[in-house]
């Protein structure tokens, strides 16, 4: 694909306020796209605005916001086609299944899956006209579900399934569907997940706290440790931009060594996997707390 220097094609990026989304918006703009960067607040848009980047208010759980996005896409003053939709918006909380209230489950699926599907459905007619691309940002959690990652992993497993079905449905009309699977990437999302998890821990019953308090501490400590040595968001953005621009993109792109290794773990027996994950967590448990065996 060759782009003119005038931003002759549009790219839509959801969840562009910070982290991978913001880095992707900047990388695509640098490569000549005019990026419609979805943010939830005006100040986030002001911080992101720049050459080739047009912030748009977009909460993917709000139908009015999605309709406004499509009005902007279809009414582009320069008649530019949409080359790619990058579905990046997501939320995360590291919490055991028993302790995650059902309304919180619904909220996580609303953002991480149903909102993604709603945007795909809305943008798809424009992508079919342009023979464009859907880029879904999944996670290593879309391949394996570690302890306290159940709710988040469930949404990412579902997004992977949607992506596979969509790729097969759209093959005949020339729209590629690509999954990005980041591993440890240094973004603000981890801090928000830990904060959310801390609030959920404080709401646990005494029995749940006894069962899971050490586990949540260990999971968050392990996540902080791995993320410190993880890739910067700009590295993930370069992989996403490659998926957008490659003439023949792969169906999946892992981001980082951790992601490249974890994607093969599901081929191991379940009990072997259980022992591997338990052993990796043990050093992070506080003294005197219940540990995974």
Choice between 193 and 66, residue whose per-residue pLDDT is larger: 66
Is pLDDT at 3 greater than 50 in this prediction? no
pTM, two decimals, is 0.92
Which of 132, 220, 146 lies closest to 175 in space, CA to CA?
A: 132
Beta bridge partners of 85: 12, 134
Strands annotated E in the chain: 9-13, 34-39, 53-57, 81-87, 133-137, 176-182, 185-186, 231-232, 252-255
Considering the domain 9-186+232-267 in this protein, what is its CATH number? 3.40.50.720
Please report how many Cα atoms fall inside a 13 Å half-sphere around the Cα of residue 71, on the Cβ side. 9
Mean pLDDT across the stretch 63-92?
Answer: 97
Burial class (CB in 10 A: 0-12, 13-18, 19+), 84: buried
Domain spans of the chain, in order of start: 9-186+232-267
Q: In this predicted model, what pLDDT tens digit does every residue of 186-240 receive, in sequence order? A: 777 666 766 766 777 788 999 999 999 999 999 989 888 877 778 999 999 999 9
Which of 175, 213, 217 lies closest to 82 in space, CA to CA?
A: 175
Q: What is the DSSP string of 238-255?
A: HHHHHHHH-SS--SEEEE
Query: Which two three-digit tokens encode residue 4?
Result: 């003119």
Catalytic annotation on 152? yes
Do the beta carbons of residue 156 and residue 189 sit within 8 Å?
Answer: no
Radius of gyration of the chain (CA): 20
Beta bridge partners of 53: 35, 50
The one catalytic residue among 149, 152, 212, 253: 152
pLDDT of residue 250: 97
């Amino acid at each position: 694909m060759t782009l003119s220097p005038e931003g002759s094609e549009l790219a839509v990026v959801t969840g562009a306020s910070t982290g991978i989304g913001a880095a992707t918006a900047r990388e695509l703009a640098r490569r000549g796209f005019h990026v419609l960067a979805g943010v939830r607040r005006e100040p986030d848009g002001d911080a992101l605005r720049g050459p080739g980047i047009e912030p748009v208010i977009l909460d993917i759980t709000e139908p009015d916001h999605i309709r406004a996005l499509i009005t902007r896409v279809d009414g582009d003053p320069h008649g530019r086609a949409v080359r790619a939709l990058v579905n990046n918006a997501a939320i995360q909380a590291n919490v055991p299944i028993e302790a995650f209230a059902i309304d919180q489950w619904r909220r996580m699926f609303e953002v991480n899956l149903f909102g993604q599907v709603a945007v795909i459905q809305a943008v798809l007619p424009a992508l079919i006209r342009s023979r464009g691309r859907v880029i879904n940002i999944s996670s290593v959690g879309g391949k394996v579900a570690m302890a306290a990652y159940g709710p988040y992993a469930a949404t990412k497993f579902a997004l992977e399934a949607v992506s596979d079905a969509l790729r097969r449905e759209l093959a005949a009309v020339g729209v590629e569907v690509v999954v990005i699977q980041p591993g440890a990437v240094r973004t603000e999302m981890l801090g928000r997940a830990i904060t959310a998890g801390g609030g959920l821990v404080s709401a646990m019953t005494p029995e749940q706290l006894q069962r899971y308090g050490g586990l949540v501490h260990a999971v968050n400590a392990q996540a902080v440790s791995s993320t410190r040595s993880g890739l910067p968001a700009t590295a993930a953005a370069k992989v996403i931009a490659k998926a957008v621009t490659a003439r023949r993109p792969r169906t999946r792109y892992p981001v980082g060594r951790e992601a490249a290794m974890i994607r093969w773990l599901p081929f191991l027996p379940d009990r072997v996997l259980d022992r591997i994950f338990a052993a990796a967590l043990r050093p992070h448990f506080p003294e005197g707390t219940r540990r995974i065996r």
